[in-house]
Chain A
Amino acid sequence: MERRHFLRAFGSAAALGPLLGSGLLRPGPVLAVDFNRAPFEAKTAADVLRLTGTAAAEATRDIFLKVPEVAENGASVPIEISSNIPGTTRLAVIIDKNPLPLALQFNFGPEAVPRLQTRLRMAESSRLRVVATAGGKHYTVFRDVKVTVGGCGE
């Protein structure tokens, strides 16, 4: 029993080690980015929403989300997101059925447009959600994306 506890504690500390170390090496000055990595280790979208405090996000039409309806290559799914909600400071993307659903979380200073384009991996067909934060409130939009060939095995 004692030994098992020790191993468990040691195991998790070893796994977190590189992340803790990297936290000390953060580059340059920071915005109000949440460097808590726990949401990135959550295994369900519900846990991601809970850990980021965005479970009560309100559905909106003011978030633009462009993603293919059918993605042929899950290893590289192009996505474009932007928020028309005044005062948007953060955008996050969650892919419900990926093993680790939180894909990214970006904070935007006043000099930046809350908009980004990138390419994401999708393990299988899944709901993809965007959560925007503006003035301490959270807003969300989602789209269901069909994936022909899953993208986590390559």
Chain B
Amino acid sequence: MSDPIKIRASIKGSEGEVRVLMPHPMETGLRKDPSGRIPPAHFIIQVSLSLNGRTVIEGALGTSVSTNPLFAFQLKDVKAGDRVGVSWLDNTGQKGSAESVFSAS
């Protein structure tokens, strides 16, 4: 449905920084559009981040996260070649996922 997730995984010292952009409307179900209709709630409720296939960060979101959620996270002891995965699930059951690899800086 939506554009693919963008991931930027970089290494700073021994820490890895992961920046993630997840294209998603994040409709609250509370706002009126210009025609006066209220679009139904449609937003990401779960996000998870994995390192080499193991879940390391997992979160639940509400409707206060902005459209096209952008997140930055930090992981310890990361080396070049480590794989980072991101996945989301929204309140309608739709899912998205993507993977990237840490590159040496």
- Cβ of A113 and Cβ of B76 under 8 Å apart? yes
User: Taking the complex as formed, is A102 at the interface, i.e. its CB lies under 8 A from any CB of chain B?
Assistant: yes
User: B46 near A35 (CB under 8 angstroms)?
Assistant: yes
Question: Is B35 in contact with chain A by the CB < 8 A criterion?
Answer: no
Interface size class of B (residues with CB under 8 A): 35 or more
A to B contact number (C-beta, < 8 Å) = 145
| Nearest CB in chain A: distance from B48 CB, A | 6
- B72: nearest chain-A partner, CB-CB: A117
**Interface residue count on the A side (C-beta < 8 Å):** 49
How many angstroms between the C-alpha atoms of A151 and B71 in the bound complex? 19
B77 to chain A: closest residue by CB = A111
Given A30-B55, A75-B67, also A99-B62 (CB < 8 A): no
Task: Find out whether the CB atom of B48 lies under 8 angstroms from the CB atom of A108.
Answer: no
Enumerate chain A residues within 8 angstroms of B28, measured Cβ to Cβ: 99-100, 121, 152
Known A-B contacts A33-B59, A103-B62, A121-B64; A27 and B48 likewise in contact (beta carbons under 8 Å): yes
